[in-house]
Chain A
Amino acid sequence: MTLKLGVPSKGRLMEKTFDWFGARGLDIRRTENEREYAGRVEGAEGVELVLLSAGEIPRELEAGRIHLGVTGSDMVRERLASWQDSVQELTRMGFGHADLVLAVPAFWADVDTLDDLDAAAAAFRAEHGFRLRIATKYHRLVREFLREAGVADYRLVDSQGATEGTVRNGTAEAIADITSTGETLRANHLRILSDGVMHRSQATLFKSRRSDWDGGAREVWRGLGNLLGISERGDR
């Protein structure tokens, strides 16, 4: 029995993940063939690498098919219902920073807070006959955030890419998206609400509460946890 570690299969997130583990004595790398999604692990016994798209890692953790997984904290919160029941946050890894923010056209001089957005949404609905549209791919996080804030008269429209362009294209009035510097938002004449940061995301190592920890995985994790310098508080 081995412990399955899910890591992002490509891009900067993969490289940074490899670096992070490498700096802690766990050498992980992809096999020589660049097209093959397989990898090797050196520095700990019994760890099997599973290369996955970062967006699929939450689901694999929830299903218990991997024991540990690296993905953005936003992904887990967006994709898993009551995520704390199925996964545990072990450590924030200090890279892959991105904020999920709510942004409106910069020329909306009257809208700076969620209070304003709510009032503008009411006026918009009265004027146009439909609810103010917010483009996003983070449906659960945005809906929960706006419900908590008591914002009404909006609707979410799905946008899987180029979300910053939806306002100019007339398919949404506001957007909720991930940004690291805010540069793309400014270039598209959008401005973040002063209380519009919904979640500060970063790459995070998660542990599944649903996978099989008997039959060896627990022992492998004990050694790996020591190596990585992670001590758990009262869990499992």
Chain B
Amino acid sequence: MTDKAAIRAEAARLLAAFEETGAVPVEAEILQPAGTLLDLYGEDIRARAFTTDDPLQGEMMLRPDFTVPVVEAHMREGAEPARYCYAGEVFRRQEVARAGRAAETMQVGLEFFSRADPAAADAEVFALFSELLAPLGLRAAMGDIGLLTAAVEGLGASPRRRAALMRHLWRPRRFKALLDRYAGRSAVPPARKALLEGLGRRSAEELVAKAGPEIGLRSASEVVARIKALAEDAAEDRLSAAEVEVIDDLLAVRADPENALARLEDIAVDMPAMEPAAARLADRLDALVKRGVDLSAIEFEGSYGRTSMEYYDGFVFGFYAPGRPDLPPVATGGRYDALCSRLGGGRSIEAVGGVIRPGLALALTEGAP
């Protein structure tokens, strides 16, 4: 176990490197209102964060990350463009004891808020992380959630179906189940079939009234509305096999970034809606090369960032100890424009950032943790 003073010293060293980019060091409260975090992450956050109660402020959580409070502070009082950095503990409940994961971990982070030249901002963050972590010989991976959102937007499906897919972008299993259903690749569940057949004989209102008395806050009219939506959905055309293939192909991409881009440009021929996202990736790769990043050493994965990084919605990256899939990433980051607009009550801003775990970085320099 690396001792805390050494981790603090490493955190201070990384923070100083972040400050050299012009980032202003900021602090965040350890106790964060639970409401905001629950709204963003859903009930799952309760399994991952420590919850407590304050008699005056209500339900609170020990900060599970810095991004949310930093974005909130920026939205409240920050001027653009802005660069922030921070170092401090984050707290995550651990249901299972695993190497490299502790309930209390030091984190050092950097966040850029700017509308100008996103490709350059992405490249600057990645290049800096790459340089700081170079002595550790880590494996770098990257992806781009924006490609998947563009592909979903480009599907010839109703807005309702596209919204349902978007909602489950970060839940791969449910996403796939929806896609299979829309493509007619999975059978209609028996109860759904019976309901739709029942609609031929009775109105939705009658079906609901027959099923039981109306209790609770979800009203009969909401149930009726969804039944009607289900009927419309059942009448909708299937997604074509070609369209589903585009999504499958995109998620299967795994190559160095240059080859991945070539592959994605091929895929975009069948789905022009993806072209702007592919062009953004091309710009980012150019910007990375300009910064001296060796692209051939990086793996680009079409599905990268879908399971663990819920608020990233564009560029995503991570650095990993090679041969140690049991360890968490040493560093992660990405672009989270949508998070900003949600926390900013619709006010949009573009942001990219990342965090390093100095404790894990140190442990790797001293031998396996």
* Bound CA–CA A119/B178 (angstroms): 11
* Bound CA–CA A141/B86 (angstroms): 36
Q: Would A150 and B96 be within 8 Å (CB), given that A156-B46, A170-B216 are in contact? A: no
Q: Which range holds the interface residue count of chain A?
A: 35 or more
How far is the CB of A167 from the nearest CB of chain B, in Å? 4
B73 interface residue (CB < 8 Å to A): no
Q: Is the CB of B216 within 8 A of A167?
A: yes
* Bound CA–CA A107/B171 (angstroms): 29
Query: CB within 8 Å of B: which of A184-207?
Result: 189, 191, 194
How far is the CB of B130 from the nearest CB of chain A, in Å? 33
Residues of B within 8 A of A124 (CB): 218, 222
B213 interface residue (CB < 8 Å to A): yes
Q: Is the CB of A120 within 8 A of B217?
A: no
* Bound CA–CA A234/B44 (angstroms): 36
Q: Would A150 and B173 be within 8 Å (CB), given that A81-B95, A120-B218, A123-B225 are in contact? A: yes
How far is the CB of B103 from the nearest CB of chain A, in Å? 12
Q: Is the CB of B174 within 8 A of A107?
A: no
CB-CB nearest in chain A for B95: A81
A143 interface residue (CB < 8 Å to B): yes
Q: Is the CB of B43 within 8 A of A128?
A: no
Number of A-B residue pairs, CB cutoff 8 Å, is 111
How far is the CB of A34 from the nearest CB of chain B, in Å? 39
* Bound CA–CA A139/B43 (angstroms): 10
B220 interface residue (CB < 8 Å to A): yes
Q: Is the CB of B226 within 8 A of A107?
A: no
Q: Would A112 and B38 be within 8 Å (CB), given that A81-B95, A155-B43, A168-B215 are in contact? A: no
* Bound CA–CA A167/B86 (angstroms): 45
* Bound CA–CA A143/B42 (angstroms): 11
Residues of B within 8 A of A108 (CB): 211, 218, 223
B128 interface residue (CB < 8 Å to A): no
Q: Is the interface of A mostly helix, strand, loop or mixed?
A: mixed
Q: Is the CB of A143 within 8 A of B213?
A: no
* Bound CA–CA A42/B226 (angstroms): 62
- Most chain A CB neighbours (cut-off 10 Å) among B218, B225, B227: B218
Q: Is the CB of A107 within 8 A of B220?
A: yes
* Bound CA–CA A124/B213 (angstroms): 19
Residues of B whose CB lies within 8 Å of any CB of A are 38, 42-44, 46-47, 95-97, 164, 167-168, 171, 173-174, 177, 189, 191-192, 195, 204, 207-209, 211-218, 220, 222-223, 225-227, 230
Name 9 extra pairs, CB < 8 A, besides A81-B96, A110-B226. A106-B211, A107-B211, A109-B227, A111-B223, A115-B189, A139-B46, A144-B47, A154-B42, A194-B191
Residues of A whose CB lies within 8 Å of any CB of B are 81-82, 85, 105-113, 115-116, 118-120, 122-124, 127-128, 131-132, 139-140, 143-144, 146-147, 149-150, 152-156, 167-168, 170, 172-173, 189, 191, 194
